[in-house]
Amino acid sequence: MPFDLSPPSDAQRAQLQAGLTPEERRVLLAHGTEAPFCGVFLDNKQTGHYCCRLCGLPLFASSTKFDSGTGWPSFFAPLDERHLGRITDTSHGMLRTEITCTRCASHLGHVFPDGPPPSFERHCLNSVCLQFVASGDRLPDPLQRGETALLAG
């Protein structure tokens, strides 16, 4: 199912941001990072999908999650490459690629070229940037765009 990738209106964005905790604001909106080994999805083994915490866009399937040993949930491939933005990040004195939600531009984490096949990428995510939807449950639709489809596990 194709998803509407147009950004939320200013009113929708304000409403979505009003529901964030201070930690979610720090990471999603101010490009922060949560501490390693503390995220709620690090050890999640359930089958389903990981969606953007702010706008609900599906980002990763549980079938692409792997234990990278880094302390953050890691995935070797996005559900749809069009759902992720990539930005060159030179903060912290190094060259990295930041990943954002294409629809709402929220910070998600970073992608590195040291993952497993077939992509050889490691998408390293902050749990606080994600919401998990178990297989068989409806996807979130906070923008009320009719995107409450069920995705296959």
Taking only the tens place, the pLDDT of each residue in 89-138 is: 888 788 889 999 999 999 999 999 999 999 999 999 999 999 999 999 98
Write a three-state SS string for the chain: CCCCCCCCCHHHHHHHHHCCCHHHHHHHHCCCCCCCCCCCCCCCCCCEEEEECCCCCEEEEHHHEECCCCCCCEECCCCCHHHEEEEEECHHHCCEEEEEECCCCCEEEEEECCCCCCCCCEEEECHHHEEEEECCCCCCCCCCCCCCCCCCC
Mean pLDDT in residue range 1-23 = 92
From the list 51, 104, 124, 129, the catalytic residue is 124
Q: Give the residue with greater pLDDT, 42 vs 95.
A: 42
Q: What pLDDT is stored for residue 93 in this prediction?
A: 82
Q: What pLDDT is stored for residue 39 in this prediction?
A: 95
Q: What pLDDT is stored for residue 148 in this prediction?
A: 59
CATH number of this structure's domain 46-138: 2.170.150.20
Annotated catalytic residue 124: yes
Q: Is the pTM of this model over 0.95?
A: no
Q: What pLDDT is stored for residue 26 in this prediction?
A: 97
